[in-house]
Amino acid sequence: MKFSFAVLSLALLSLALFFTGCQELPRQPVTGIVLSAEIRTNPPQRLFVAQVDLTNLRLHVRVAPGGPDPDGPGKWQTTLMQPTQIAAREKFNFVVNGDFFTAKGVNDGEGTNSHFHAEQWATVAGPAMTDGRTWSEGTNARPCLVVHTNRTVMIEMLLRPAPDDWEVIGGNVLLVHNGQIVPHQNNAHHPRTAVGLNASGTRLIVLVVDGRKPGVAVGMSYDELAAEMLRLGCQEALNLDGGGSSVMAVRATGMMRILNAPTDGTERAVANVLGISVDQE
């Protein structure tokens, strides 16, 4: 069962990405998403934005886990998989990394210190639902992007998915609520992935910010990220997993292309993703 969303005249803006680790994308229409990239110098920042029209019935916003559940009713829920591999399996046209996660026997790290790899047993931090099937519940209420069975998309605080939910992915903190920045005392700068909605709930805004690259991209604090989401028109916004997990990829010329420059040097295998697929005409 699939639920679709509206207004997608998928026009990929010409993205000339001139920095290391990013590929220049050809002009190619992708129904329902407009992509843009911005390079700043003071401080150095690299931002990647997807504006998704949720009124087009050909568009489907979905949450997908990595690999299969490795231990049935046990602690672990899925196995790690690279986002572009998940996108290939699910036939997504667009994908970003999802919730925070724990992998069996692995401590966090990046670059040569990152030991995350495909097929490691993993569990996500918050609630997760895919096509109406709950496969994770939180231990405390967390901000989540929720697709309801009536096709509306909202940001809600959830402990577990509700009966009228269809897709659920969790983050760690709210960035924007009721059109106002939610302040945070944590001022650390990191690569970030954030999602938000406009006031009418008709537009999904996805932002990936590169970081941990001195002189190139310093990343953002929560408050800086919230200010960007507010500037982009968000009434509500939340922070997804970041750091070495942050990635944005789009299907172009038949294959998934990574737009940003992940800090591991390549995309990290993760526990779940937020993906968008578009029906063929």
| Sign of the Cα pseudo-torsion (79, 88, 145, 195, in order) | positive
Number of compact structural domains in the chain: 1
Helix and strand numbers (H, E) in the chain are 2, 20
Write down the pLDDT at residue 252.
86
Any idea which residue has 């909605």 for tokens? 197
- For every residue of 157-204, DSSP letters joined together read EESS--TTEEEEEE-SEEEEETTEE---S----B-EEEEEE-TTS-EE
Write down the pLDDT at residue 110.
83
Instruction: Tell whether 11 is covered by a domain.
Output: no
Write down the pLDDT at residue 2.
34
3-state secondary structure (DSSP) of residue 87: helix
Write down the pLDDT at residue 272.
99
Long-range contacts of 220-224 (CB under 8 A, 24+ apart): 220/45, 220/189, 220/190, 220/192, 221/184, 221/186, 221/187, 221/188, 221/189, 222/173, 222/175, 222/184, 222/186, 222/187, 223/181, 223/183, 223/184, 223/187, 224/189
Instruction: Tell whether 26 is covered by a domain.
Output: no
Per-position pLDDT tens, the chain of length 281: 333 333 233 333 333 333 333 445 434 447 899 999 999 999 999 999 999 999 999 999 999 999 999 999 999 999 999 999 999 999 999 999 999 999 999 988 888 788 999 999 999 999 999 999 999 999 999 999 999 999 999 999 999 999 999 999 999 999 999 999 999 999 999 999 999 999 999 999 999 999 999 999 999 999 999 999 999 999 999 999 999 999 999 998 889 999 999 999 999 999 999 999 999 87
Q: What is the rounded CA–CA span in Å between residue 34 and residue 245?
A: 23
The parent domain of residue 49 ranges over 33-68+75-102+120-278
Write down the pLDDT at residue 108.
82
Closest CA to 117 of 273, 274, 270: 270
Burial class (CB in 10 A: 0-12, 13-18, 19+), 2: exposed
Write down the pLDDT at residue 11.
34
Write down the pLDDT at residue 112.
79
Instruction: Tell whether 203 is covered by a domain.
Output: yes
> What's this model's pTM, rounded to 2 decimal places?
0.91
Instruction: Tell whether 4 is covered by a domain.
Output: no
Instruction: Tell whether 10 is covered by a domain.
Output: no
